[in-house]
């Protein structure tokens, strides 16, 4: 299928990747400049040559690629964590999911991607500059219509009239939003929380004990990258040691005192 103006592509040379939109434009790289209009009519898997004759492969951007190319003002949630969140929060076509704290919009992007055209993401964020950058990212990825931003602090309650299918908190004091989250969520459905510190985890765990939530899980995910030489196969020298603790639970309507 021939690529057209407006399509999103990855141009890759070695480990260097660029996420670009096909249009009449010259794009400069260390290996010479690229005439982006040359991509038109090519297909994914083809390449174009830079002004220095260096090939840049035209690749289909995956959601992983989009996440790695998020323009960021903040620490973003990493793919290793996002993949697990999708499974725990059950994010597929048609779901309505509420997130509080959009940051630069990495998780927002993934949620919008996976709820599809028939689903919806509601994103609360009190900081205007974060909403702007998240929106910019979503626009680049053609996902902005799936997201409703609410630029406000949440104190007592979220605004939604209908309960949502899943809810995610990425804020400094998530323990203060547990009751609003409880009220906004459908019965039996999942809540996820990301926090960087153990103090926050313990605050959340105490808060969850006081509300009708069950099936609590607290985990960390590590990703260990390897070098690619098959004659000297070994891990990379450095890795990310910490992004955050992930907490998951499910809402029940009332907690019966007879359970253990």
Footprint on residues 123-152 left by its own copies (CB under 8 A) = none
Among 29, 44, 72, 136, contact with its own copies (rule: CB under 8 A): 44
What are the DSSP calls for 180-199, one per residue?
HHHHHBPTT-EEEEEESSHH
- 157 annotated ligand-binding residue: no
Query: By C-alpha distance, which of 202, 184, 201, 182 is closest to 193?
Result: 201
Q: For the segment 3-32, give every residue that binds its own copies (CB under 8 A).
A: 10, 12-14, 17
Pick the closer one to its own copies by CB: 156 or 224. Answer: 224
Query: CB 75 → its own copies: shortest distance, Å?
Result: 9
Q: Which of 250, 247, 246 is nearest to 186 (CA)?
A: 250
List the one residue from 64, 128, 157, 173 that touches its own copies (CB under 8 A): 64
To its own copies, the closest distance from the beta carbon of 165 in angstroms equals 8
Q: Could you tell me if 4 and 40 are in contact, meaning their C-beta atoms sit under 8 angstroms apart?
A: yes
Based on the shown chain and the rule CB under 8 A, indicate whether residue 46 belongs to the binding site for its own copies. Answer: yes
Burial per residue of 157-187, b for 16 or more beta-carbon CB atoms within 10 angstroms, e otherwise: ebebeebbbbbbbbbeebbebbebbbebbee
Which 193-252 positions form the footprint of its own copies (CB under 8 A)?
196-199, 201-203, 205-206, 209, 214-242, 245, 250-252
Q: How many residues does the chain have?
A: 260
Interaction of residue 183 with its own copies, rule CB under 8 A: no
Query: Is position 104 annotated in a ligand binding site?
Result: yes
């Amino acid at each position: 299928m021939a690529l057209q103006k407006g399509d999103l592509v990855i141009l890759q040379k070695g480990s260097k990747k660029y996420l670009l939109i096909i249009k009449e434009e010259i794009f400069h790289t260390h290996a010479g400049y690229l005439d982006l209009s040359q991509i038109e009519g090519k297909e994914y898997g083809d390449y174009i040559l830079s002004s220095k004759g260096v090939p840049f492969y035209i690749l289909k951007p995956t959601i992983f690629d989009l996440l790695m190319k998020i323009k960021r003002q903040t620490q973003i949630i990493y793919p290793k964590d996002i993949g697990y969140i999708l499974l725990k929060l059950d994010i597929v076509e048609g779901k309505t999911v509420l997130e509080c704290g959009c940051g630069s919009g990495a998780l927002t992007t993934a949620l919008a991607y996976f709820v599809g055209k028939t689903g919806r993401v509601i994103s609360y964020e009190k900081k205007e500059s974060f909403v702007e950058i998240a929106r910019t990212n979503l626009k680049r990825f053609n996902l902005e219509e799936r997201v409703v931003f609410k630029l406000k602090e949440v104190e007592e309650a979220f605004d939604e009239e209908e309960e949502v299918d899943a809810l995610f908190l990425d804020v400094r004091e998530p323990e203060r939003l547990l009751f609003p989250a409880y009220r906004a969520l459908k019965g039996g459905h999942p809540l996820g929380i990301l926090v960087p510190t153990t103090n926050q985890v313990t605050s959340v765990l105490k808060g969850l004990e006081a509300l009708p939530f069950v099936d609590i899980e607290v985990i960390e995910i590590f990703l260990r990258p390897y070098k690619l030489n098959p004659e000297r196969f070994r891990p990379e020298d450095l890795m990310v040691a910490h992004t955050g603790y992930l907490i998951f639970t499910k809402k029940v309507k009332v907690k019966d005192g007879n359970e253990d």
